[in-house]
Amino acid sequence: MQNETSLARRDALGLLAAAATPAAVVIGTPAMAKETISSVSSSIEENPALLEAYDRLNVARLERREAKDALEWLADEWRHLWPLAPEELLGGANADRHPGPNDDAERDIIGRHIKRDVTTLTKRLSPKFRQGHPEGVCFSVLTWEEADKHIEYWASLKPKGRTERALAKNIANREAAIVEARHKRKLAQKYFQETTALRQEAGVDQAIQRVTQAETAVLVACSDISQIPALTPNGLRIKAEAIMASGVFQTVKNSNGLLGEMARFVQSVINVAPTLAAAA
């Protein structure tokens, strides 16, 4: 995912720079712009390489849309079979707000966060908390690997006590903690096996891979378009479409500094290009 994001950012920057150059066509008065474009379009045909890359972009965008629709359909079809994690395995709340490499948030079959109905979680949550989260809460889920670490920790702990009674109590607490950790490990392993089997049966990995490949094809086509010169207003429109299709243009446009200024200028070109192409 990080590599895809980096690729998208590089493509967006290249597209911004590429669009800025042909955008010079529209600088000046409207009459000058129209005259220039009419003159150019009447004597020059669009770059065939750019048109070919645009065709690839359209094919890739269609495939991306169909792949995402198929993934959504898969989630709907398997929703009734997807199990919620046992309550004993639920950890911290709002796990969906803290994504990271060790993300252990509860998710559905295609990896979307699950927000649990908290009205039934009366043992672990206060009435005030339940009332304050009517939309549900996404919890972290204990994995069997984490349960193993808990077992190892408690097993290595050497209870101490100033009195025999205190020592006996601490020993009992350690044994109870080990029993609980082993119980949770069994639950976690069973949950993992069940969800893994369902994902394999549904073909989730293949469906996600299809989306990933389509996204990559879109980015490659956008990158190619950014590097191929445009010769007509239609080519300028193609470059504008590629900028929007790259996926990160909106973020760059809302940023400060030089990149934000470039992006906002390109947005103006995007807005004007269809009118100028029609006028030609």
Please give the average pLDDT of every successive group of 10 residues along the chain, which has 280 residues.
45 49 42 47 80 96 97 96 93 81 84 89 80 87 93 91 90 94 96 97 97 96 94 88 78 76 75 63
In a domain, 84, yes or no: no
In a domain, 271, yes or no: yes
The token pair at 176 is 């109870």
Give the number of domains in the chain: 1
Q: Nearest 5 degrees, angle CA 253-CA 259-CA 265?
A: 60
In a domain, 66, yes or no: yes
Residue identified by tokens 């792949």 is 67
Q: What is the value of pTM for the model shown?
A: 0.72
In a domain, 68, yes or no: yes
Q: Which long-range contacts (CB under 8 A, 24 or more apart) does 88-91 make?
A: 88/183, 88/184, 88/187, 89/141, 89/142, 89/184, 89/187, 89/188, 89/191, 90/116, 90/121, 90/124, 90/139, 90/140, 90/141, 90/142, 91/139, 91/140, 91/141, 91/142
**Phi, psi of 226, rounded to the nearest 5 degrees:** -65, -25
In a domain, 165, yes or no: no
In a domain, 102, yes or no: no
In a domain, 111, yes or no: no
Cα-based torsion angle of the residue sequence 183, 186, 190, 193 in order, rounded to the nearest 10 degrees = 150
Q: Which domain holds residue 241?
A: 48-79+208-278
pLDDT of residue 3: 46
